[in-house]
């Protein structure tokens, strides 16, 4: 299994001319160093819970420049993978997403959403390649007449390995971003192990967690938008550290994979028992600590079998969920699972 993967890897690198050069040290896939971003994007109101956007414009170009600096800094400190918070490109519109009108910012937000293969996109993939790191940007993805809440996995050769859209944006997000699709719930095999990606409140929903956990992650990559410190009186339950970190702990314990938790503000790494490995609070300076690191012993993980037939997230359990579903509830598919698509033209017309 591992041998087969390495053969595929080498031939890909020959084919597209991205092989490490002769003077480079061979990569050690037994030690994975992960960096999570906690610094804010460009033009993002501070402190973390400040939602006053008066007079502030989103700036994708400046945010991409900031990202490139962070990628360089992380790589310089030995990182192999850099994870960005949810919608970091061009910035989570905190407060605005709760407001169905998006007030006067909707056109500016759509203009600053990221388009695949655009100059801004290419700057990110080039930064991954030139710094020899995998990156996971969290971004507002503009695709024709829709925007999506996206995560991508870009390899250290600058290749797009995986693109996904948040399956069901949360609350007011649903009035702006369109839904993803269920075939985007994939775990990706890398030479360091099997990586799964989810965003924010996806960690609460079995429709998103079950199918990812069934694919035997060895590292879970979690992008939250922003997280305050514990006991922050300005945070409602849904945006509190208490509630969101609880979901990440449950995810880790349930999947058996450590969780790398990126967010603007309070970030952490959580081990596979659900306990903290390292925490940096929202109150810490972003200039002094823009990134937080943790290293993992990944020896042998590339060869991990990608599923179990005998665990908590298996085909048998799925059948049990169906069979045990209360018989008095009508077998009716309600509107909740209908794919929700919001046209950019309609958003602009309503703004
Ligand atoms: C090869 O790798 C060395 C060491 O990392 C670097 O200094 C050099 O610029 C690289 N050469 C090419 C052609 O990429
Ligand atoms: C929001 O920011 C604007 C511009 O800085 C300021 O004039 C206004 O007083 C702020 N509003 C609140 C509620 O703090
Ligand atoms: C952003 O950068 C792109 C490519 O570098 C450039 O074409 C564009 O004009 C820039 N946009 C703004 C608003 O500066
Ligand atoms: C793993 O890599 C990190 C970053 O380069 C380094 O600090 C750490 O010592 C390494 N761990 C081991 C066990 O080699
Ligand atoms: C949305 O924002 C507008 C303009 O700031 C405000 O008047 C309105 O009350 C807000 N609506 C909600 C639901 O927050
Ligand atoms: C990494 O894990 C492997 C497999 O469990 C073990 O043999 C090895 O000693 C570990 N390496 C370090 C540096 O802890």
Confidence of residue 351 (pLDDT cuts 50, 70, 90): confident
> Hey, which of 52, 56, 97, 101 would you mutate to test ligand 5's pocket, going by the most ligand atoms within 8 Å of its Cβ?
101
**DSSP per residue over 186-210, as a string?**
--EEETTEEEEEEEGGGGG-HHHHH
Q: What is the DSSP letter of 222?
A: E
pLDDT at 300 over 50: yes
Confidence of residue 27 (pLDDT cuts 50, 70, 90): confident
DSSP H helix total and E strand total for the chain: 8, 13
CA of 59 to the centre of ligand 3 (A): 10
pLDDT at 3 over 70: no
Structure tokens at 106: 């909707």
Structure tokens at 47: 């402190």
Position in ligand 2 atom list of the atom nearest CA 52: 1
> pLDDT tens digits for 55-98?
899 999 999 999 999 999 999 999 999 999 999 999 999 987 66
What pLDDT does 102 receive? 57
**Crossing angle (nearest 10°) for helices 119-130 and 60-76:** 0
> Hey, which of 24, 130, 156 would you mutate to test ligand 1's pocket, going by the most ligand atoms within 8 Å of its Cβ?
24
Instruction: Report how far residue 56's alpha carbon sits from residue 170's, in angstroms, rounded to the nearest whole number.
Output: 24
What pLDDT does 18 receive? 52
Which helix (H) or strand (E) segment is 140 a member of?
A: strand 138-143
CA of 54 to the centre of ligand 2 (A): 6
* Cβ contact 82:35 at 8 Å: yes
CA of 147 to the centre of ligand 1 (A): 39
Task: Kindly report the pTM of this predicted structure.
Answer: 0.90
Instruction: Give the residue whose CA is nearest to atom 12 of ligand 1.
Output: 21
CA of 46 to the centre of ligand 5 (A): 21
Position in ligand 4 atom list of the atom nearest CA 297: 13
CA of 2 to the centre of ligand 4 (A): 22
> pLDDT tens digits for 166-210?
999 998 899 899 999 999 999 999 999 999 999 999 999 999 999
Does residue 61 have its Cβ closer than 6 Å to ligand 3?
Answer: yes
pLDDT at 13 over 80: no
How does strand 146-154 pair with strand 188-190?
A: unpaired
Position in ligand 3 atom list of the atom nearest CA 111: 13
Q: What is the DSSP letter of 47?
A: S
Of 140, 124, 149, 109, the C-alpha closest to 70 is 124
Shortest-distance ligand to the CA of residue 118: 3
Instruction: Give the residue whose CA is nearest to atom 13 of ligand 5.
Output: 99
- Chain position carrying tokens 């999947």: 255
Instruction: Report how far residue 241's alpha carbon sits from residue 238's, in angstroms, rounded to the nearest whole number.
Output: 9
> pLDDT tens digits for 101-140?
456 789 999 999 999 999 999 999 999 999 999 999 999 9
Q: Annotated active-site positions, please?
A: 86, 166, 200
What pLDDT does 12 receive? 46
Q: Spell out which residues line ligand 6, taking CB within 6 angstroms.
A: 297, 299-300
What pLDDT does 292 receive? 98
Shortest-distance ligand to the CA of residue 50: 2
Shortest-distance ligand to the CA of residue 115: 3
């Amino acid at each position: 299994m591992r041998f087969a993967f390495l053969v595929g890897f080498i031939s890909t690198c020959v084919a597209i001319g991205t092989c490490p050069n002769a003077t480079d040290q061979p990569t050690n896939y037994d030690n994975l160093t992960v960096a999570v971003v906690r610094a804010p994007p460009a033009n993002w109101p501070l402190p973390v819970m400040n939602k006053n956007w008066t007079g502030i414009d989103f700036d994708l170009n400046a945010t991409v420049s900031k990202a490139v600096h962070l990628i360089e800094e992380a790589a310089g400190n030995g990182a192999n993978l850099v994870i960005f918070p949810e919608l970091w490109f061009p910035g989570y519109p905190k407060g605005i997403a709760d407001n169905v009108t998006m007030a006067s910012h909707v056109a500016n937000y759509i203009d600053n959403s990221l388009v695949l293969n655009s100059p801004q996109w290419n700057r990110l993939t080039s930064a991954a390649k030139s710094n020899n790191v995998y990156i996971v940007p969290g971004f507002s993805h503009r695709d024709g007449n829709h925007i999506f809440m996206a995560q991508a996995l870009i390899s250290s050769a600058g290749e797009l390995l995986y693109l996904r859209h948040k399956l069901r944006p949360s609350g007011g997000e649903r009035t702006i971003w369109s839904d993803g699709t269920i075939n985007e719930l994939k775990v990706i095999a890398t030479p360091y192990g099997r990586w799964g990606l989810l965003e924010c409140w996806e960690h609460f929903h079995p429709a998103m967690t079950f199918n990812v956990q069934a694919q035997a992650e060895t590292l879970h990559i979690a992008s939250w938008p922003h997280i305050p410190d514990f006991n922050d009186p300005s945070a409602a339950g849904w945006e509190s550290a208490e509630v969101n970190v609880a979901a990440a702990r449950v995810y880790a314990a349930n999947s058996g994979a450590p969780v790398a938790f990126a967010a603007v503000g309070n970030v952490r790494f959580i081990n596979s028992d659900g306990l903290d490995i390292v925490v940096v609070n929202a109150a810490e300076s972003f200039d002094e600590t823009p990134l937080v690191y943790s290293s993992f012993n990944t020896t042998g993980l590339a060869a991990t079998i990608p599923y179990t037939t005998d665990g908590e997230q298996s085909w048998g359990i799925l059948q049990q969920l169906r069979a045990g579903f209360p018989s008095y509830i009508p077998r009716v598919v309600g509107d909740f699972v209908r794919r929700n698509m919001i046209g950019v033209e309609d958003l602009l017309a309503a703004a």
